[in-house]
Amino acid sequence: MKLQILGCYAATPRTLTNPTSQVLEIRNHLFLIDCGEGTQVQLRKNKIRFSRINHIFISHLHGDHFFGLPGLISTFRLLGRDKELNVYGPKGIKEAITLLMKLGDSWTNYQLVFHELKEKRPVLIYEDDKVTVETIPLDHRVYTNGFLFREKPSDRKLNVEAVGKYNIDKAYFRNIKSGNDVILDDGTLVPNEVLTFDPVAPKSYAYCSDTAYRPELVPQITGVDVLYHESTFLETEAHLSGKTKHATAKEAAAIAKAANVGTLILGHYSTRYKSIDLFKEEATEIFPEVELADDGKVFNL
């Protein structure tokens, strides 16, 4: 599982920083999470193939999280895309995007499928044989969701030496990797744990941006491997977090600690601060495993 940060700063694009967008690579999927202005330029800079993006998740309809989407959809068309594109986002996103396409007479030549969200509880919005994605209800000035990505358990790993010892035919390998025992021709039962190794533990990633401090999300994200949580402000500006429905680095760390996550990644920084290192200093006073997102940074999870 790999996370590439395309942009992680609040509000407006600048010459050296970009608004929110990131790409999560998980079990051969490439999921685009939020699409702030300039996302497609960042995709090119980071050498991410446009053709691999089939699912886009938009947290909310503030410009720094979706103004890049109309341009990206248009570019897909110009590149001759013919694969279906799925967009998951708040109710209203379809109207916003299709109005622009209508006014510009630039309908896509590929199927564009909108999955509009309005539930205020966690909802499973994507599932295949490898991955699930569900919403994480957040607390912001408009309807907002985070997203929880979970790998499904992999097959068990075959112990080649053990199956050779028992002279087991290859025809049984698939059942063995699925967790089944084997009965030999003489009636001997060979337990699965003798023939296999445990698979790599499935990983999970929770994306929470933008939101005020919200302890209610802790039960849903408890134990996740990696949590990305917004940290727009430091405690010195905590008085602004209530007005704007954002969180401080300290509050993000409190959520990570309460949820017992593996690693906390901070992002969505206000550009009023001279150094993002200040966010890590504040958060590590509460939770030790803190990383800082930054434009172009890659996390191998």
Q: What is the CATH number of the domain that holds 18?
A: 3.60.15.10
Residue 19: the pLDDT is: 98
Residue 160: the pLDDT is: 93
Is the same domain home to 247 and 183? no
Is the same domain home to 286 and 164? no
At 3 the three-state DSSP class reads strand
Tell me the Ramachandran region of residue 70: left when phi exceeds 0, alpha when psi lies from -120 to 50, beta otherwise.
Answer: alpha
Q: Is 60 annotated as a binding residue?
A: yes
**Looking at 34, 64, 181, 198, which residue is catalytic?**
64
Is the same domain home to 9 and 139? yes
Q: Is 29 annotated as a binding residue?
A: no
Is the same domain home to 205 and 192? no
Q: Which of 145, 142, 101, 155 is nearest to 120 (CA)?
A: 145
Is the same domain home to 128 and 52? yes
Q: Is 64 annotated as a binding residue?
A: yes
Range of the domain at 170: 157-197
Residue 269: the pLDDT is: 98
Number of domains observed in the structure of the chain: 2
Is the same domain home to 6 and 56? yes
Tens of pLDDT, residues 38-75: 999 999 999 999 999 999 999 999 999 999 999 999 99
Residue 67: the pLDDT is: 98
Is the same domain home to 122 and 21? yes
Q: What is the pTM of this model?
A: 0.93
Assess whether 198 carries a catalytic annotation: no
Residue 301: the pLDDT is: 86
Q: Is 55 annotated as a binding residue?
A: no
- pLDDT beneath 70: ranges in the chain: none
* Residue 31 neighbours by CB distance under 10 Å: 24
Q: Is 294 annotated as a binding residue?
A: no
Residue 231, H or E segment: none
